[in-house]
Amino acid sequence: MQIVSLVPEGAPSSLYRSFIPMQALALNGHRVHVEERDAVGDPGPLLDVDVVHIFRLSHQPARRLARRLQEAGVAVVWDNDFDMTTAPGDHPVGRALRGMAGQRAVADANAMLRIADVVTAPTEELAARHRSAGAADARVFENWLPPTFTRPRTLPPRGLTIGWAGMGEHEWDFAQLGLRDVLARVLERHLHVRMLGIGADVGLTSPRYEHLPWQAYDDLPGLLARCDVLIAPLADVSFNQTRSNVKLKEYAALGVPWLASPVGDYAWMGEAEGGRLVADSDWSSHIEALVRDEDARRTLAANGRRWAAGEVVVDHVGELEQLYEHAAALARG
């Protein structure tokens, strides 16, 4: 098949929703092209492809392009990986949706849901919400790992480290759960423990806390593998119930035990997948337990690596091929 993926400029999630799966399709012999831009002026070059995958873009130019493609018999697959309508008012996404611009963004997304031949989402919860909002055909394609996301063979010596990686919006989750105080107390009680935060900044003042801005994806495995425990906290709000579990896939693939909130697609996971679920009030006790128990960390790490070995995109590319073939058949029909 010939597939073009259009993604907005500077959208980190496009890595999971476009670049990684498109690379897997290319390895399977399909002709793919990813175009990172906010609008397409001339649709001509797209009118003879089989499928155009559009990630998040839903403004009027994107909807006009979608209709033009469908007139030419080209399938339109629209992908949206979060439900912006349920973001709390004080959440960064919620604040961005205030006023007329926010209302227009919601209306644009709902309009694109109804236009696309197929709508895709990383979780069943989100796909169900897309159907409720008007999508005639909403399907799940999970966020999978690239085959290159592996543990480095050698790592620099370092004390026991607790870490996390997340975009700046996750600072809101840390605040809701009171994790800055929890982590500060862990550092006070255990002088051999260090902490590493990538992206989301908890604001700890200890010299044993290192904060790095969000890193290039290729650099993440080497940084996260320096950790002995990785955490993935999420506040239990509707917005987070649509979150994918790719972060825990990444943690597990690196052989690092994880602790996570039982929210969204984290909720069904556990020790067989390399970690433990943590109630909002239990973060301190769970972190303390793993800090003290090296055998538990070793067992969870081995479990996680076994599970994550089956979460690589090349093992699931057939699901995406079927999805696109289905969309192309709808467009031809």
Examine the domain organization and report whether 191 and 297 are in the same domain: yes
How many separate domains does the chain show? 2
Whether the CB-CB separation of 12 and 167 falls below 8 Å is answered with yes
Q: What residues make up the domain containing 300?
A: 160-308
Q: Is residue 320 part of a domain?
A: yes
Separation of alpha carbons 203 and 180, rounded Å: 7
Examine the domain organization and report whether 216 and 275 are in the same domain: yes
Can you tell me whether residue 81 is helix, strand or coil?
Answer: coil
In eight-state DSSP terms, residue 139 is: E
Q: Is residue 86 part of a domain?
A: yes
| Per-residue pLDDT at 153 | 84
Whether the CB-CB separation of 246 and 186 falls below 8 Å is answered with no
Confidence label for 96 from pLDDT (cuts 50, 70 and 90):
confident
Examine the domain organization and report whether 113 and 199 are in the same domain: no
296-312: b (≥16 Cβ within 10 Å) or e = ebeebbebbbebbeebb
Examine the domain organization and report whether 41 and 58 are in the same domain: yes
Q: Is residue 154 part of a domain?
A: no
pLDDT digits (tens, 9 = 90+) for 285-330: 999 999 999 999 999 999 999 999 999 999 999 999 999 999 999 9
- Both structure tokens of 10: 């500077």
Whether the CB-CB separation of 313 and 20 falls below 8 Å is answered with yes
Residue 109 has pLDDT above 90, yes or no: yes
pLDDT digits (tens, 9 = 90+) for 50-59: 999 999 999 9
Q: Is residue 155 part of a domain?
A: no
- Both structure tokens of 253: 């693939």
Residue 114 has pLDDT above 90, yes or no: yes
Match 């209306």 to its residue by tokens.
Answer: 107
Q: Computed from CA positions of residues 190, 196, 199, 203, in that sequence, does the dihedral angle turn out positive or negative?
A: positive
pLDDT digits (tens, 9 = 90+) for 130-169: 999 999 999 999 999 999 999 988 777 778 999 999 988 8
Examine the domain organization and report whether 279 and 324 are in the same domain: no
Q: Is residue 278 part of a domain?
A: yes
Separation of alpha carbons 170 and 267, rounded Å: 18
Residue 94 has pLDDT above 90, yes or no: no
- Both structure tokens of 209: 């806390």
Q: Computed from CA positions of residues 89, 94, 99, 105, in that sequence, does the dihedral angle turn out positive or negative?
A: negative
Q: Chain-wide mean pLDDT for the chain?
A: 94
Beta bridge partners of 166: 199
Residue 284 belongs to domain with CATH number: 3.40.50.2000
| Per-residue pLDDT at 89 | 86
Examine the domain organization and report whether 165 and 295 are in the same domain: yes
Q: Is residue 55 part of a domain?
A: yes
Whether the CB-CB separation of 247 and 176 falls below 8 Å is answered with no
Confidence label for 194 from pLDDT (cuts 50, 70 and 90):
very high
Q: Computed from CA positions of residues 33, 199, 244, 115, in that sequence, does the dihedral angle turn out positive or negative?
A: negative
Q: Is residue 152 part of a domain?
A: no
